[in-house]
Structure 1
Amino acid sequence: MARIVISENVSVDGVVEVGDGFDRGDWYARIGVADREAWAKLEYDEALGAAALLLGRRTYEWFVAQGWPSRSGGWADRLRELPKYVVAGGTDPDRWANTTVLTGPVADAVAALKRDIAGEIVLYGSGRLARALLAADLVDELRLVTYPFVVGAGERLFGGTDAVRPLCLAESRTVGEGLVLLTYRPA
């Protein structure tokens, strides 16, 4: 049985997406070289440990628009070879190798993936999908790379919730010189 792992970049105040306005966004460009290199290694290592990727439509489209299907290098090669599952209609799975579009209710489709795949299914980005999986109690681990910025506005990973969801801190460590990886599991 697979484990669903949400892997997010988040500001100190919980923002995961700022929309198209890069006056508040593009945190990666604002961190130092040591942080960028450490973050890239962290992401590459995570991809090496994954059995599959899970993406929402907007995150899938972002990866395609950024040229990931044809990029070179270890991380890009690994993402290309991994099975990718996209939750959303209207997505063209032929734009990135090994992509399957999931159909039906999200919770049911992801629960079926958990039963059918062994290993980690890593969810990149996809804030709305992450919130839906959290609400359906399908998430086994949260990995939050916290950037040293207070953004003030934007989409947050944790919006309104129907219940308190206790978490247990499994790991915390510095990544580079200024990022922090916080790993939580359901309590």
Structure 2
Amino acid sequence: MTRKLVVSVYISLDGVVQDPVGMENSGLGNWVGPFSRGPEGDEIMRQELWAADLALMGRTTYEGFAAVWPNLNDPGGFAKRLNGMPKYVASTTMRQAEWTNTTVLSVDVAGHVRRLKGEGEGDILVYGSAGLVHSLLPLGLVDQVHMLIYPTVLGRGTRLFPNDFAARFDLRDLRQLGSGMAHAVYTPS
């Protein structure tokens, strides 16, 4: 059985996924901060993480996560789950990763992803990581896109889909959440 590669993003109405919590010095600020996904949104995120048995990230996302998650002890157990699972970071500049259970993929990332999809049963969860997603989408390696849609327009920033990418997607689930947000699940057609 082939496991699914699930891309999970915070996304603005105009498709921006860059720097949602304002840690990358992009000038976009913490654009998710004014909104609350509520208990239903928290449960969606919990189910998404517990369905996965490994995480895959690009370098920028990895560095942001690695600076925060190892030091968290949240009541929902998100940190314990994420800290304990195998993590892979796609990077041509990193040589080693300090966060527990992390492997650096510096060459043939697509080949590693194909191999990982053929092993195990839980999902491969990709948080954010627009550059990585831009490289995996055209190769047909993305099985689902989970969008936590924020009711804001940023006007600039890195978008989820690369400019020259065209594809059709099927809507699998759509839920309205707190603060005018929505959660949508799409699969490539």
TM-score higher than 0.5: yes
Match of 1:92 among 70, 89, 96: 96
Q: Is the counterpart of residue 179 in structure 1 residue 164 in structure 2?
A: no
Q: Partners in 2 of 1:45 and 1:101 — Cα distance?
A: 26
Residue in 1 that maps onto 2:137: 134
After superposition, residues 27-106 of structure 1 pair within 5 angstroms as: 27-32=31-36, 35=37, 37-65=39-67, 67-73=68-74, 74-89=77-92, 90-93=94-97, 95-106=98-109
- Which structure 1 segments of 5+ residues have no match? none
With over 3 angstroms needed to count, the CA separation of the structure-2 counterparts of 1:153 and 1:109, relative to structure 1, is same
The 8 Å contact of residues 50 and 121 in structure 1, kept in 2 or not, is answered as yes
| 8 Å contact kept, 1:57–1:91 | no
Give SS of 1:144's match.
strand
Q: Quote the offset at 1:27 in angstroms.
A: 2.1
The residue matched to 2:176 in structure 1 has which SS?
strand
Distance 2:95 2:49 in 1: 22
Equivalent position amino acid for 2:81 in 1 = R
Letter matched to residue 3 of structure 1: K
TM-score (norm 1): 0.89
Aligned residue among 22, 25, 45 for 1:20: 25
Moved more, 72-81 or 112-121: 112-121
Change (3 A) 1:147 1:60: same
| Structure 1 residues 108 and 7: alpha-carbon distance in aligned structure 2, compared to 1, 3 A threshold | same
Cα distance between partner residues in 2 of 1:25 and 1:111: 35
> Which protein is richer in strand relative to its size?
1
TM-score (norm. length: structure 2): 0.88
- CA RMSD, 1 decimal: 1.7
Question: Which residue of the partner structure matches residue 121 of structure 2?
Answer: 118
Q: Which has the higher helix share?
A: 1
When residues 64 and 105 of structure 1 are mapped into structure 2, their CA distance, relative to the original with a 3 A threshold, is same
* Equivalent AA in structure 1 for residue 163 of structure 2: G
